[in-house]
Structure 1
């Protein structure tokens, strides 16, 4: 694993972004986010929220065919590349009532190393159990099914949205998101859409929103150099 420490530049893993260009953030951060590169995904991590700002993947048929036979490890860990004051720990989630919700799903990982890395807490956020295990799991499966049918690479960016003063869990005060989103961009067709769901156990998956609407809601220009067809 490699890291561009203290930077939001993904110089060592541009392959996870369409056009090798990471999202443009139209907001400032009290503490600069960290760019973390893993084998099969990239994380822009916030030391303030102790969660990702977003997580990026590049999916395609070959990768997902390899992922089908990979055994899930369930070995969560705190990423040692982050200072202790900047990261979530396993104890933060214990007894919290929230799942450690993957942003880059374990089911997308093509081999044992990628699978193990996907259990980094830098790839997690507090998610209500039924939400994580039912509608969100359904969104992840639908995304994989689409990428398996696609003619080329599909770029997926997943992340949280907070409102007001977020609820926190654990001694490290890990922020609990109000909403979750998953952007899907087919680089072959130029089409993009986003799944948007509230982070509670009553939420249900609904019709995807447009790329323009996702940008409006998040303040992030995910595909700034791409021609996007909603």
Structure 2
């Protein structure tokens, strides 16, 4: 069984946040905390934006996959339809209830949309098959251009795994999210909000005491922002004109945690803190 548990907070899945503290400064009433539960275990947490029918972020503990990416059945969240519905996240039925369609994103939204289903919590950052299967819910998905999803953003996810394996000596807490447009939302068929940028940050409070000098700035925290729109300006993430055509305009810019928090604070018009105490013990 797949479960997604809704409440007013993350009290049942705080383990996925550093020092059991979710990001601070994200208070919009449209956001719905979801503790993502699968086969009687919590696997990660998502902050879902009801009006945008997409998650704002997913938080998880990175653990390298012990197998391949599963061919999983996509799920939806019954409790986004009715607050007292079963907590079991269910496979999409055919035909779908209109109540489901109105409450959240559905597979039809992505069909012929020119967007891929972009995981915020990527399946290959999860250890067991059950962990990976739990990521295949549309409450963990945003519309992402293929050039980003399979290009620079995929490279960033792989690089994060390498850093974890080489230098992290304890849990690595990750928060990955989607940044909306500053001048108003963009939509798939006036239903699902398309992000202008992807963003991600990690917190590794326990790491090797013998870091190479070139790696020292990357611990205990580091962050990145990736373009999801080729037409966006270069202010946040510059474009590399020498990149191959298929990925040009989907660049990823790496940066210190406080720089990402500053960008998010500007977009959300409120101070943002992703990790308690900047992830310093």
**TM-score, with normalisation over the residues of structure 1?**
0.87
Q: Give me the whole-angstrom Cα distance separating, in 2, the residues matched to 1:133 and 1:99.
A: 10
Distance across 1 between alignment mates of 2:46 and 2:31: 13
Equivalent-residue separation in structure 2 for 1:132 and 1:2 (angstroms): 25
How far residue 111 of structure 1 moved from its aligned partner, in angstroms, is: 2.1
Q: CA deviation at 1:37?
A: 2.8
Which of 206, 209, 212 is residue 255 of structure 2 equivalent to? 209
Aligned twin of 1:3: 5
Which of the two has higher C-alpha Rg? 2
SS at match of 1:152: coil
1:120 and 1:156 map into 2 onto residues whose CA distance is 18
The answer (yes or no) to whether the contact 1:4–1:36 under 8 Å persists in 2 is yes
Shift of 1:169: 0.8
Give the stretch that moved more between structures: 125-134 or 219-228. 219-228
Aligned partner of residue 78 in structure 2, secondary structure: coil
| Aligned-pair CA distance for 1:140 | 0.7
Q: Could you say what secondary structure the match of 1:180 adopts?
A: strand
Residue in structure 2 matched with residue 72 of structure 1 by the alignment? 70
Q: Which runs of 5+ in 1 are unaligned?
A: none
Q: 1:45 aligns with which of 31, 43, 48?
A: 48
Q: SS state of the match for residue 48, structure 2? A: strand
Whether contact under 8 Å (2:204, 2:279) holds in the other structure is no
Contact 1:35–1:42 (8 Å) recurs in 2:
yes
Tell me by how many angstroms 1:22 deviates: 0.7
State the Cα deviation string for residues 82-114 of structure 1 (Å, max 9, x = none): 213331011010010000000000112222322
Q: Is 1:222 aligned to 2:274, yes or no?
A: yes
2:225 aligns with: 196
> RMSD of aligned C-alpha atoms?
2.1
Cα gap change, 1:17 to 1:132, in 2 (>3 Å):
same
Task: Summarize the alignment of residues 72-221 of structure 1 with structure 2, pairs less than 5 Å apart.
Answer: 72-83=70-81, 84=100, 85-149=102-166, 150-163=168-181, 164-170=183-189, 173-189=191-207, 191-200=220-229, 201-219=247-265, 220-221=272-273
Report SS of the residue matched to 1:95.
coil
SS of alignment partner, residue 33 of structure 1: strand
Q: How many residues align?
A: 220
Higher relative contact order (CA 8 A, sep 6+): 1
Q: 1:78: how far off?
A: 2.0
Which range moves more in the overlay, 202-211 or 101-110? 202-211
Contact 2:143 2:195 in 1 (8 A): yes
1:45: how far off? 0.8
Question: How far apart are the structure 2 equivalents of 1:72 and 1:91?
Answer: 21
Q: Using the TM superposition, give the Cα deviation of residue 118 of structure 1 relative to its aligned residue in structure 2, in angstroms.
A: 0.6
